[in-house]
Amino acid sequence: MSYIFSLKGNQSEIKQDFFPTIQLDGNYSCGMGEKLAILHESPIMVDTGFHIVDIPNEIIYLPVNTREISQLITSKELISYEPFSGSSLSHGSSIRIGIQNKDAILSLSESDLLIQGTIKKVDDGSAVISALINNGIAHLFEVVSYKMNEQVIFTVYNPGVASTLNGFAVLSSDQVKGLSNASWISDGQLDGTKFNLTKDGNFLFTVPLSLLLPFFATYKKDITNSRHELSLTRSRTDENAVKSASKLNIDITKIEWRVPTIHLNDVARLHMLDLIKRNVTINVAFQQHISIHGW
């Protein structure tokens, strides 16, 4: 739909309120009266003799009693996804977690990894109370990678080192304190004497995925109509994750990808399905972090 406006004489300003003919079902109002619905309005200043071609952008039609987009969300729940059947969590193994439901609306930027396991001495198998260093959980993996629709979007090698350095650069002191359950030492005193406490050698941490993969820290839009896969390669040794006079072994017994899932009301869902049918292209823009080492 487009409109052409021509200026005559000494006219130099156009201000238009126009109402395209549309077919609406339900409790909607469009037109003049108490419930005035202005679909497009813009004051434009131009020189005499020019004309304007004005094309409205995509419009979301809201019910009369809806004031914010957030009111279109009926609920939001946290759904856990486990590794594919038969996946091993042992040292050197590849752990793959997939989300196959294309109809789900996911807030991947708010997702996290729940990781549970044990720390024991290699010689006698006794439990270790405290040994994990700062951000120790991230050091349990060699590679972390994310795919969308079978295409690799972001990969981080040595996520323990990468996320620690990135955290020192961008995280505030309050943010660090909020990561205490992600194996970050909350007081920031990394003097080699403070470690993450475990109970009877058992640990349970939840690590925000945005900490391991910066893609999720910069791309915060919800995603639907896509399949997702998270791949983690388990480190062959735990030496970088712990500090102890004794040789230790860390076993991961459970890992889950916990993703907030959004449920929309009928109005918003129908609009979303219409966009999908029209095959509207959505750019997935994010910041790429590149590390260059010089020796």
- Shared domain for 94 and 57, answered yes or no, is no
pTM of model > 0.85: no
Same domain, 111 and 18: no
Mean pLDDT over 281-292 rounds to 60
One domain for residues 50 and 187? no
The confidence band for 172, taking pLDDT boundaries of 50, 70 and 90, is: confident
Q: How many domains, in total, are found in the chain? A: 2
Domain shared by 124 and 228, yes or no: yes
Domain span including residue 195: 73-277
pLDDT above 90 covers what percent of the chain? 28
Q: Taking residues 33-61, report their average pLDDT.
A: 47
Mean pLDDT, the chain, as a whole number?
Answer: 75
Considering the domain architecture, whether residues 83 and 147 belong to the same structural domain is answered as yes
The reported pLDDT for the residue numbered 31 is 39
User: For position 43, what pLDDT does the model report?
Assistant: 47
Average pLDDT over residues 136-152: 92
6 and 39, same structural domain? yes
Last residue of a domain, one of 65, 81, 111: 65
Q: State residue 69's pLDDT score.
A: 54
Taking the C-alpha atoms of residue 73 and residue 76, their distance in angstroms, rounded to an integer, is 8
Higher pLDDT, 268 or 213: 213
The pLDDT tens digits for 76-116 are 899 999 999 777 899 999 999 999 998 889 999 999 999 99
Answer yes or no: is 134 within a domain. yes
- Is 194 part of any domain? yes
- At residue 26, the pLDDT reads 44
pLDDT band at 25 (very low <50, low <70, confident <90, very high): very low
pLDDT number for residue 187: 61
- 135 shares its domain with 248: yes
Q: Are residues 40 and 94 in the same domain?
A: no
* 27 lies in the same domain as 94: no
| Alpha-carbon gap, residue 233 to 293, rounded angstroms | 23
Query: What do you get for the CA distance between the two ends of the chain, in Å?
Result: 60
28 falls within a domain: yes
Flag the least confident range among 52-56, 154-158, 161-165: 52-56
Percent of the chain with pLDDT over 70: 66
Are 83 and 17 within one domain?
no
Is 283 inside a domain boundary?
no
pLDDT at 182 over 70: yes
